[in-house]
Structures are given as C-alpha cells and as structure tokens.
C-alpha cells in the first residue's frame, strides 16, 4: 500500500493527456489536453470519486453522491501512468455505511484515460447504479462557442445542446434540474456506447472501452438549473443566486451487483481529439476494429444491387397480394434491375400480428404455394428475403397468455413489459383502439431460444434466400430482465444476447444453407460483425451517415418511398446505401414509381461504372475534400468522399438537394486544387471541372481528382 494524500498527476508519454486525482478523496479533479490546453475538468468543485445507488426498502434514492467517502487506500501507483485506489466501505449518509468495497483504476492507455471500477458487495443490499468516472464540472473549450453532445441514434446521429443553451429532454417533474439522458435504447445497445462532447474544432470522446454487453448510459445535468428558462439558457457566470453553475456528465453503469457478488465493470475511455465528429468517432472505430471484424455476405449481395420491399398483409387482414402474385412482382424487379425482394406480412396474421409465428399465411396460399412462388422468383434471378421478427410476442394471442408469458422480460415487480405496437390502415387502429400490443421476450431464456429455433426452421423450409430480422436493434421498453427463472442473473441486460443470437441462427442454417442471407433493421455496430446487411430509413436533409462512417464496408440499405424520389436516390449514391424501393410505403409495385426507378437505374449504372471508388472503395464522408459554393463562397452540403480500392485517388459525390436552382461548386480533393472531371447521374458524359462543377436541382455529380476515365 502507498500512502498518498496529495495530488496524483498522470501524464501520457506523448504529453497529450494530463489528469489529476485528489489523493485525499480519490476524485478525478482535472483532465487537460496537453495539445491545445483545453481543461475539460479544471478544479475540485463538487468533486466525488464515484456515485453508487444502493436502494434501501424505505428509501430507494439512497446514494453516495453527496457524502464524503474518506480517503482511499492507494493500492498501486504504476510508473506507466496508472493508479489504483480502494475504499473498503461506502457511506450514503452520516450514520449509513455499507459493506461495499470499491476499487477504482485510472490508467493512461492508447492516447486516452481509461477508468475502470470493481464493486465487491458484501452487504445485504443491491448496488443498482455505479457512476464512474465522475465528471462534475465540464468546461467548454471556448465559452464564446457552442458546446454539445453527439451520439448514435438509429443509423444516424443525435445532438443535444450543452452550452450556452442546455436541452432538457426528460420530464421536469421527475428531476431536480435540467437533465439529458442520452437515448437509452441507442446508448445501452452494445456497440453504440460512446458520446462526443463537441466544441469548435475539438472535442472529448467518452465511451466504453471493451466489448462487453453491459448497460451503460450517459447523463448530463445542469446545476443548479436555468437562469432564464424561456430559452433554456445556462447562467452566464460561475454562480447564480449564490449557487455554483456546473455542467455534469455521469457515465452510469447499471449492473445490479447482488449481495455477496463481486463485479468488474467495463472501462470507460476519455480521449481528446482535434477536428469534428469524424475524428471523435474514429477513436471508437479504431478500438472496435481490435475487438471484432466484418461479416461476409453471399456473393450476390456483395455486388451493387437494389431491393424492393413489399407487404402481403397487415394485422387488419388486407391480403393485397397472394403468394401466386410473387413471380409477377419478381418479374417486374428483374426488368428493372432489382435483385432482391424483402417480403413482409407473409406470416399467418400479417405484419406485427401473431408474433412469434412464422407460419406462411394459409389465406395467402399456404406453405406449398409460397415455396413454389419463391422458386419461380429465384428462376428469374430475383432473391427472396423474408421479413422475420423474434423479439416480440403478440399479447393478444392465447399462445402468449397460456404459455409464452412466462418467457417474457420481467420488470423488478415481476410484471412483463409492453411495447405499444404499430397501427395499420383502419381509423380504428390509427386511433390506437385495437392495436396489437407487443411484449419483449427474454433471450437469456433457453426456452425462448427453443421457440425461436422452431420458428426459424419454418423460415428455412420456404426455400427463401435469406431473412431480414425486423427490430433486431431493440427490445423496447425493456433494458434488463429480473426473472432469474429464465436462467440468468437478476437485472441481466436484455441486449447482451443480440450478437450471440444471430451467430446461433447462422449455425442452424450453415450445414444446409451456407449462403443464407442475414439482414437486420438498424443493426448496431457490433451486430454488423454477424449480419450481412442493415436496413434503416434515413429520409432527412440533415442525415448524418454515422453508421456508414463506422462501418465503411458494410451493406446498409435505406427506404426510397417517393414517386419522383431523386434526392433519396442521390443520398444512396452519397453514402453507398443499397436502394430499397417502397412505393405506397412498401405496399405497391415498381410499376407505380417509374420516375424513381428510372433515376435509380441511372444512379446504379454510374455506381457500377465507378465501383472502384463508389462501391469497392473506402467511404470517408467529408474527410479528404472540401466543396465550396462558387456564388456564396460558403461550404456546400451534402457531399462525400471515396478513396479508390486500387490506389489513393479520390472521388467526390456532390448532391444538390434544391428543387429550384443549379449550384456551381469548386471541389478540392486530397488537399490539391487540381483540375479534375465530373459526370452527372443523369448527364450525357464527362465534363471538365476546371470552371466549376455545375449540378442541376435534384441531381448529383461524381468528381474525380484526375482526368476523366472516358471521353469528355
């Protein structure tokens, strides 16, 4: 043991990160970038070493937060830039101490500070939450600039303001001060657990630092609250009304450490970066690449291609198509150059009814007719991928009420969670009167896995080319299951089995269908180590292609629903998305949208011609090039950069989302303002870029920083 009561300073070998720990309290009191001097923590205001929630029967809000914990024992102080501290007991009040020991470790590793904590619970209470490290007094890099958070959300990114305005996102009645709980079902999903603190040209990365599927969320609080609430403004000075003004960030582990249990929790990395969100997200991407790699899709899916999604039936019994119609749909796809059909609502009861049933609907034609229709479609060169759903059970079914209810995810009171479900077609259902409620099921239960095995065999029996697992990315509203009869620990995270489940499915199909295709909806980054494709919807002018940046090589598909949907086709070119044609919100036929399909074919032709960049190359988003509007001199958006698969040359895709006016832009790629060449999606040939790149409304151009590959 080492007797240290003064400050402990850790400095990374390259000098880029400097942190200070108060030896008397064990609190992290300073964190500074040695590169630009930004002190994101600069002092001991409200410093605390950790914060444990240890509920008591008469007081659930029983925390160590505002109670002095006493000096820790310094277990080890390593010359390599690490210190380990231990508290043998913790206190939640003057007369309330608990036989819970905490071992905290701060270590400078790989360019950042990694903070890990171990809880040894010898008390008769449950340690429910653990905040570590504590960051109680965040400082913006420059108080003259804005400061905010950036994190993953459904294939894209979500931002919240922290300074000079603070976005309260929870009900004000439930908290003491303005609070942001970063989207729980985005952040607690394994593989999505990082948040960036964004300043002007620099930021701080805060994220999980090992591939462990444990619950972790990030909570921001504004202390003591707004000065003026009408515009959510942070008070200007260091105090307001005699109270300190602080921005606090709490990485909150939710481990449910039981009496007699000892657990080490996943490390949290704090790392400075210079630049924008790309530089911050690149920290996570580099870490993940040491943990897991990509999946390898079947050869047909590896080529540039497009899909159609079509619904056969909904819970309101539409049955707009029968299985016998599928070959005609496939023929239309073959004529339009569309390679695959995602078939939805083919199961008995239709989409989002009778879950987890995967019996082919007898009123659509039954299993034999479906098998024959799939075989005929395949003979036309069109793949059939079946929409599947294993995450829910339909609460309205007798199967759930009599049997499956015991396998549902349970809350701490022993009740199952309920998801509100989805509303279809009739005004009765659109008013939410007869909506089918869905219940998240426990994948920690071996019995539920057996149910899924039986249902998956029905999918394989159809002869389909693959499946797309809808809502594989969430189990809402459940985050943890508290039913130990399922064979897991109390409070086990329900997301912990998501990657293992698709691995298990692949083992089931491997011996008989080694080329079976696995897609999922809005797959998390970790899931894309097993799924071949991720489907999402990204129709937004300000869409941020975060998942594409994290997974440059992954197959990602997006919905194209419009009847002259050129800009969504342009978005697919920008971000290497596979087109999913979905006329009438995936209830129509390709012949319903001839304008969209025609433009989509032009885009596909250009992507194929330049696949060395646009399909096989490396997506870099906006990194590596600048695009400037010649008329205004301002940066133009959107654009994206691809590096050739066979060298270092770059292609820049520039889209003009305007519906009215041409835009003329100057493109500088690779740091050099060289004359290049460009071609429009719907243009006749190549043009020189020396006098600017002219992009008509609702069109896109591909710009090469070299002479044209064909005649100009």
Instruction: DSSP letter for 549, please.
Output: H
CA 488 – CA 360 distance, rounded (Å): 33
Give the pLDDT score at 6: 67
CA 433 – CA 676 distance, rounded (Å): 60
- In three-state form (DSSP H/G/I as H, E/B as E, the rest C), the secondary structure along 456-503 is HHHHHHCCCCEEEECCCCCCCCCCEECCHHHCCCCCEEHHHHHHHHHH
Query: Reduced to 3 states, what is the DSSP secondary structure of residue 84?
Result: strand
Reference 391, options 492, 489, 477, 485; nearest CA is 477
- Token match 């809000």: residue? 61
Give the pLDDT score at 5: 61
Q: Is the peptide bond before 224 cis (omega within 30 degrees of 0)?
A: yes
Structure tokens at 338: 């569309």
Cβ–Cβ < 8 Å for 76, 65: no
Give the tens place of pLDDT for each residue, 367-403.
999 999 999 999 999 999 999 999 999 999 999 999 9
Reference 533, options 302, 196, 209; nearest CA is 302
Residue 518, beta-bridge partner list: 467
Which residues make Cβ contacts (< 8 Å) with residue 116, sequence separation at least 6? 104, 105, 107, 264, 265, 266, 267, 268
CA 621 – CA 546 distance, rounded (Å): 9
pTM score > 0.85 for this model?
Answer: yes
CA 311 – CA 387 distance, rounded (Å): 9
- Where does 77-209 have alpha helices with state H? 184-187
Distances (CA, A) of 500 to 283, 458, 488: 25, 20, 15
pLDDT less than 70: residues of the chain: 1-6, 78-80, 183-192, 672-674, 709-712
CA 613 – CA 608 distance, rounded (Å): 10
Cβ–Cβ < 8 Å for 584, 616: no
Q: 555-560 and 577-581: which strand pairing?
A: parallel
CA atoms within 13 A on the CB side of 157: 24
Cβ–Cβ < 8 Å for 26, 70: no
Cβ–Cβ < 8 Å for 180, 158: no
Give the pLDDT score at 357: 97
Structure tokens at 196: 């960036």
Hey, what domains does the chain have and what are their CATH numbers? 7-289 (2.70.98.10), 306-392+443-536 (3.20.20.80), 613-704 (2.60.40)
CA 19 – CA 41 distance, rounded (Å): 9
Cβ–Cβ < 8 Å for 279, 622: no
CA 61 – CA 651 distance, rounded (Å): 56
Reference 388, options 481, 305, 453; nearest CA is 453
Which residues make Cβ contacts (< 8 Å) with residue 213, sequence separation at least 6? 190, 493, 495, 496, 497, 498, 499, 526
Tell the burial category of 37 from Cβ atoms under 10 Å away from its Cβ (0-12, 13-18, 19+): exposed
Give the pLDDT score at 423: 92
């Amino acid at each position: 043991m080492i007797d240290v009561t003064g400050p402990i300073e850790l400095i990374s070998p390259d000098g880029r990160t400097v942190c200070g720990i108060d030896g008397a309290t064990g609190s992290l009191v300073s964190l500074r970038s040695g590169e630009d001097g930004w002190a994101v923590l600069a002092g001991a205001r409200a410093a605390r070493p950790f914060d444990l929630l240890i509920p008591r029967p008469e007081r659930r809000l029983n925390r160590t937060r505002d109670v002095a914990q006493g000096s820790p024992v310094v277990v080890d102080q390593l010359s390599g830039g690490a210190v380990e501290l231990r508290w043998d007991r913790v206190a939640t009040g003057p007369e309330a101490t608990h036989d819970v020991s905490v071992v905290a470790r701060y270590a400078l590793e790989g360019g950042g500070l990694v903070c890990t904590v171990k809880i040894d619970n010898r008390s008769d209470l449950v340690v429910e939450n653990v905040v570590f490290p504590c960051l109680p007094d965040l400082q913006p890099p420059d108080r003259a600039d804005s400061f905010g958070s950036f994190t993953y959300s459904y294939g894209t990114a979500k931002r919240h303001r922290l300074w000079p305005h603070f976005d309260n996102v929870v009900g004000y009645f439930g908290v003491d001060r303005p609070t942001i709980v970063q989207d729980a079902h985005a952040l607690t999903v394994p593989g999505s657990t990082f948040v960036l603190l964004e300043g002007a040209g620099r930021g701080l990365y805060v994220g999980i630092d090992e591939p462990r599927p444990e619950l972790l969320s990030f909570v921001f609080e504004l202390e003591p609250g707004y000065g003026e609430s009408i515009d959510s403004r942070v008070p200007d000075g260091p105090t307001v009304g005699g109270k300190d003004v602080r921005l606090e960030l709490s990485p909150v582990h939710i481990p449910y450490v039981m009496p007699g249990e000892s657990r080490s929790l996943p490390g949290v990395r704090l790392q400075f970066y210079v630049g924008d969100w790309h530089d911050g997200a690149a920290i996570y991407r580099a870490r993940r690449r040491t943990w897991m790699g990509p999946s390898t899709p079947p050869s047909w899916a590896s080529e540039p291609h497009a899909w159609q999604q079509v619904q056969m039936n909904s819970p309101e019994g539409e049955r707009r198509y029968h299985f016998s119609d599928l070959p005609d749909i496939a023929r239309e796809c073959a004529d339009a150059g569309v390679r695959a059909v995602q078939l939805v609502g083919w199961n008995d009861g239709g989409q989002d009814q009778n879950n987890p049933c995967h019996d082919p609907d007898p009123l659509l034609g039954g299993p034999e007719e479906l098998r024959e229709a799939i075989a005929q479609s395949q003979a036309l060169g069109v793949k059939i991928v079946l929409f599947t759903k294993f995450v829910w059970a339909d609460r309205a079914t007798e199967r759930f009420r009599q049997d499956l209810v015991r396998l549902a995810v349970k809350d701490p009171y022993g009740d199952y969670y309920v998801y509100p479900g989805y509303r279809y077609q009739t005004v009765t259902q659109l008013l939410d009167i007869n909506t089918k409620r869905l219940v998240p099921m426990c994948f920690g239960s071996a019995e539920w896995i057996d149910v899924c095995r039986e249902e998956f065999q029905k999918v394989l029996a159809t002869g389909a080319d693959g499946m797309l697992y809808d809502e594989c990315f969430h189990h809402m509203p459940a985050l943890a299951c508290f039913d130990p009869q399922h064979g897991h620990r109390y409070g086990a995270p329900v997301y912990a089995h998501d990657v293992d489940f698709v691995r298990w499915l692949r083992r089931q199909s491997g011996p008989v269908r080694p080329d079976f295709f696995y897609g999922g909806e809005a797959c998390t980054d970790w899931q894309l180590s097993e799924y071949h494709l991720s489907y999402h919807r990204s129709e937004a002018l300000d869409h941020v292609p975060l998942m594409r940046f994290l997974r440059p090589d992954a197959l990602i598909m997006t919905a194209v629903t419009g009847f002259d949907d050129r800009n969504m086709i342009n978005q697919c070119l920008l971000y290497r998305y596979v087109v999913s044609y979905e006329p009438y919100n995936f209830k129509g036929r390709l012949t319903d949208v001839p304008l969209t399909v025609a433009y989509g074919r032009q885009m596909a032709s250009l992507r194929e011609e330049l696949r060395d960049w646009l399909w096989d190359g490396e997506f870099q988003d906006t990194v590596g090039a600048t695009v400037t509007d010649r008329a205004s001199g301002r940066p133009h958006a959107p654009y994206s950069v691809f590096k050739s698969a066979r060298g270092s040359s770059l292609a820049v895709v520039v889209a003009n989302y305007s519906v009215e006016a041409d835009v003329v832009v100057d493109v500088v790629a690779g740091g050099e303002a060289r004359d290049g060449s460009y071609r429009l999606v719907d243009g006749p040939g190549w043009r020189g870029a020396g006098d600017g790149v002219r992009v008509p409304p609702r069109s896109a151009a591909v710009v090469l920083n070299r002479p044209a590959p064909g005649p100009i």
